[in-house]
Structure 1
């Protein structure tokens, strides 16, 4: 659970935003999705397992939680943030009835997740129950509030990074010739659970690289290269995506040269992530480095078909900024995640080098971005 000081700080900043936006009350909508469940956690300390959730945040007093009967409220009630917990088969209607009881049936109601997490059915339930209320999307404004991480949030992210670093170390004895990818994935899942991580996703691959795989019956080859990608929230709910590469024999000169160029380019890219810089500066700088080394990539932040990218990360796997698509100026103590690969023109190059790359959380500082899990990207020799 977050501290009372952290709770009051979040509510204070959110209510300042609500006042600036001219709304009387805010409804935060969550779903069992890695992009949306962190929103309800941010205002209630309830990490949503499944189904839909609504947290009503008034200008004064404690929030009210509305969930779905499929899960009930037992988990939500572990938190003392909300003062009222309810379930309803039509949670949109129940939320609207609460808003009416609070005196907002004809008021300005901010809805976080209105464009992406709120289902059409629940939207209709709300508008039909309180037709005179003006529902306004506050998703962008909400994300701006949680863009800058507090000291407590930064400590939670550092804890997750420390846990992940140890998880990868614990997994290394299992990365050996003859082990199947699916057994390696299973071992990684067990380790993550032993450290209290929540719903981790594990991907494993080796050349020839194809699509990201959740584990196949293919065996790790002698003298092979292995990619392990783990992402998920740590015990505090702070999210991390991390990729590590392991070699069981010597690297080819082509792979080593590509890796060296990639690390050099990504390091230059994160150095550009200073307060006030655009997130797309990472894409441009990294892409220019790769192109100078003979691997041209797309650097236009407006292109949806992209190669080098980053996104905001925190309580959700993706929150706020992502590039390409939703560019934004960086702020000090914002956390982004970089995960980069080249869209190879020659499929044969992709088979050899497709998942040779860096993935980690990066903290935005006045001196540029800083990796949060490992000081220096490496290919680990086993």
Structure 2
């Protein structure tokens, strides 16, 4: 049971409460533990012990909850919910809480429902458990990566002069869902021309023209697990400067990725890519970390960063995404999802990294 792994990293606690608020306060750990394939589970909770999971939810989610195979307790009103929480935790003094996913309002409500308890922050324990993916999680991420890779191949023939960034973003999302995704893992980024120099650009009404960079940063969700990939192309013939930038980024990614394996520090992987870029006239134009963890959240945890001491372990999934960003010129980013292995890595996203001239 995944709940058991959480308690591997925590002391003096053998019981925990995972609680969801409204739509924007859903703790992904709820789905990590239960594996629920359907449902939103707003206002629901979990009672967890190393060998026990109980889902406390409303009639709205009853069917989805029972499909998990875990014990289910149904409430009809918030008063009923409060009474269930009181009763189920009445014989437990120390209770683990995922502080990083609980709002102040939620925490105050918990204190009102069960005021006589000692609450212990287990957010770090949850993070540690979720970093190492189990086989079923890897399978889902691998499928999400495949969907993303296949979808890009479907979209490329539809790229045309005069289309807007928003139109292309819509094509990407449509292709992913047609290929089996339940949605996009984050708001798809499409940036044309000089807009590609902004790593977190929001697509707008800019129209595609000859000579533009076309940067697409996107990901698919499959059974709640994410992928995250970026490809950069040129619409028409690439200039010498565009080719130069692209080849530097491609080399930085290749040289850093081949060093990914268990027990290597993520900041050392970042340094490989950063040193390659900084050895060129584009020094200082790589303006973000090399990569992050991927899982139930598209940014599951920190991973490859110059400022983060992080040792890679087998069955982590991380991104490798160097980039060069030149204001008023454009930017290139190449990003792939990578499964860390004992003696190397497996690249999960597979679309071509050769420079495509559309």
Please state which band the TM-score falls in when normalised by the shorter chain.
Answer: 0.7 to 0.9
1:13 to 2:5 alignment: yes
Q: Pick one of 159, 162, 175 that aligns with 2:146.
A: 162
Q: Which runs of 5+ in 1 are unaligned?
A: 1-7, 300-305
1:273 to 2:273 alignment: no
Cα distance, 1:373 vs. partner? 0.7
1:67-91 CA distances to partner (integer Å, 9 max, x unpaired)? 6x9xx32564363243224457759
Output the CA distance in 2 between the equivalents of 1:34 and 1:284.
36
Report 1:210-289 matches (<5 A).
Answer: 211=198, 212-234=200-222, 236-289=223-276
Output the CA distance in 2 between the equivalents of 1:248 and 1:161.
25
1:296 to 2:283 alignment: yes
Give 2:130's aligned residue: 146
Output the CA distance in 2 between the equivalents of 1:131 and 1:107.
10
1:313-334 CA distances to partner (integer Å, 9 max, x unpaired)? 1112122334366542110111
Report 1:113-152 matches (<5 A).
Answer: 114=99, 116-152=100-136
Give 1:56's aligned residue: 47
Output the CA distance in 1 between the equivalents of 2:284 and 2:39.
38
Output the CA distance in 2 between the equivalents of 1:289 and 1:319.
27
1:264-323 CA distances to partner (integer Å, 9 max, x unpaired)? 122222233321222222222211111122332399xxxxxx523321111121223343
1:351 to 2:328 alignment: yes
Give 2:14's aligned residue: 24
Output the CA distance in 1 between the equivalents of 2:225 and 2:151.
16
1:318 to 2:299 alignment: yes
Contact 2:7 2:13 (C-alpha < 8 Å) held by counterparts: no
Give 1:329's aligned residue: 311
Report 1:56-75 matches (<5 A).
Answer: 56-66=47-57, 72-74=60-62
Aligned length, in residue pairs? 352
User: Which secondary structure state, in structure 1, belongs to the residue aligned with residue 189 of structure 2?
Assistant: strand
Question: What TM-score does the superposition give when structure 2 sets the normalisation length?
Answer: 0.86
Question: What TM-score does the superposition give when structure 1 sets the normalisation length?
Answer: 0.81
Give 1:373's aligned residue: 349
